Amino acid sequence: MDIQNVGKIIQTGLEGTEAVGGGQDKAVGKTSDFEKVRMDKLEQEEQVTGLKASDIQYNDNILNRMDARQVQNDFLRQVQARGEGKELEVLSEHIQKTQASLEKTRATLPAVDKSEFSGAIQNYFKESETRFKALDSMYQEISSGDRPHSLQDLLKMQMQIQGISQNIEMLSKVVDKVVDGMKTILRTQV
């Protein structure tokens, strides 16, 4: 995108404000100048970021079988390194790390409020947060002794934590890409 294209977009926007009278109806089947400018902006954002809002959604299957096996093996290795009975301690550390990245991502969300992706990103984040809260609640019940558990249950929880962490990491990358795209668009418009 060069300065001439930006000038054309601005010119179209200015002509649109002058051309549309207060009480005039637009012709049926014609696209308003405002809508044309809006669509141009959306296309620019998609070109710069390479994303579409419909592509941003929570992924339940983010871990493939090899990743899942690796997560389980890593968890068991960490438990063995600390000694028997330390499963909840290891799980607690993973939950704390996930919570920290959730908070870090939450802090970056206001940067995309004016983007077309804002709604999709907010929904993605809320889904991640909801799943994390449910998992944290389950962990609290287990650690307080209110809920019986087995090593298999803890392995499943670790898998879910890893899935949430990877979704949060993915969301963080999407936010960074959208913010970079918005900065690029703003720089080209100046």
Query: Is residue 101 pLDDT above 90, yes or no?
Result: yes
Reported as type and span, the H/E element at residue 20 is none
Query: Who's near 63: CB < 8 A, 6+ residues apart?
Result: 71, 159, 162, 163, 166
Query: Who's near 3: CB < 8 A, 6+ residues apart?
Result: 188
Distance between CA 143 and CA 153 in Å, rounded?
Answer: 13
Q: What is the distance of C-alpha 75 from the center of its chain?
A: 26
pTM strictly above 0.85:
no
**Over the stretch 22-53, which tens digit does the pLDDT of each residue have?**
445 555 556 677 666 666 665 665 555 555 55
Read off the pLDDT of each residue in 130-146 and give the average, rounded to a whole number: 90
Query: Is residue 183 pLDDT above 80, yes or no?
Result: no
Distance between CA 9 and CA 16 in Å, rounded?
Answer: 10
pLDDT of residue 190: 58
Enumerate the H helices of the chain as residue ranges.
3-19, 33-49, 65-82, 87-108, 118-143, 151-189
pLDDT of residue 184: 79
**Residue 79, amino acid:** V
Query: Is residue 181 pLDDT above 60, yes or no?
Result: yes
